[in-house]
Structure 1
Amino acid sequence: MARPQTGRPTDQELEILKVLWKRGRSSVRDVWLELRESREIGQTSVLKIMQIMRDKGQLVCDADQRPQIFWPKQTQKSTLKQLAGDLLQRVFGGSASLLLQHAIDSKQASRHELAEIRTLLDQLDDGKTPSK
């Protein structure tokens, strides 16, 4: 039976998505080898999480290949946009200025980051779609 799709990936699912966005199509072993560099996790745990992600519609799996190859159903950009929108609504009541204010307050933004934010805001003011 297919698992219900949720609006956002769990922390563990997001870790796996990051590996797959970086590596591209990969086996469970490939993902596990990369994850275990930063934390202790078993290969069977990675397999189970990836199977759950497949059942939830987050991953696609080529079961005809051995080993099976997995890849994300959505692009990184699409997923990050969805997560940002969800955070904006749930936590900041839809206020982008409040989100930005707290994001900048919580971490001292570098001059480079501030310049990137200004460029994005200028692009929006000019009616252009930001490039990121």
Structure 2
Amino acid sequence: MARDNSSIKPTEAELTLLNILWKIGPATVRQIHESVSETQKTGYTTVLKILQIMHEKSLVIRDESNRAHVYAAANSEMQTQSSLIKDLIGKAFGGSTSKLVMRALGDSTSKQEIEDIRQLLDTLEK
């Protein structure tokens, strides 16, 4: 069962591993390492150590029933993103969601993204 880890903020390295777990689902250290190695040079033991730290922080859960431990994200991608955004809004934008949105929209937003945002706003107004 996922815990509320909203006060625990993953580091950049931890987010990299979480993104892999959200993409491929529960995986062994070897599988995660292979995925990480596609985009960056990282040692197997480094990935293992980061996962162990993430387990201690309750960012991942670990199935120890097999020889190769299987790791899975403790919280969904959406839960983690929401927690990080709330933290960012509070720290960088003085608690103002509109300041965050205006800043984000001012930075090279594509026409498709604007259309997606417009549809979201229409849904939220209903």
| 1:81-100 → structure 2 map (5 Å cutoff) | 81-100=82-101
Q: In structure 2, what is the equivalent of residue 7 of structure 1?
A: 8
Percent identity over paired residues = 36
CA displacement at 1:124 relative to structure 2: 1.5
CA displacement at 1:104 relative to structure 2: 1.6
Counterpart secondary structure, 2:66: coil
Q: CA RMSD in A?
A: 1.1
1: CA distance, partners of 2:12 / 2:80: 13
1: CA distance, partners of 2:75 / 2:102: 29
Q: In structure 2, what is the equivalent of residue 74 of structure 1?
A: 75
2: CA distance, partners of 1:43 / 1:19: 15
Counterpart secondary structure, 2:27: coil
Counterpart of 1:121, as a letter, is L
1: CA distance, partners of 2:122 / 2:93: 23
1: CA distance, partners of 2:32 / 2:52: 13
CA displacement at 1:53 relative to structure 2: 0.2
1:36-65 C-alpha deviation (Å, 9 max, x unpaired): 111110000000000000010001001121
TM value normalised by structure 2: 0.92
CA displacement at 1:7 relative to structure 2: 2.5
TM value normalised by structure 1: 0.88
Counterpart secondary structure, 1:30: helix
| 1:7-46 → structure 2 map (5 Å cutoff) | 7-46=8-47
8 Å Cα contact 2:8-2:57 kept in structure 1: no
Task: Compare relative contact order (CA 8 Å, sep 6+) and give the higher one, 1 or 2.
Answer: 2
Deviating above 4 A after TM superposition, structure 1's stretches of 4 or more consecutive aligned residues are: none
Q: In structure 1, what is the equivalent of residue 51 of structure 2?
A: 50
Q: Note if 1:116 corresponds to 2:116.
A: yes
Runs (5+) with no aligned partner, structure 2: none
CA displacement at 1:120 relative to structure 2: 1.2
1:75-120 C-alpha deviation (Å, 9 max, x unpaired): 11111111111111111011111101111222x1111100111111
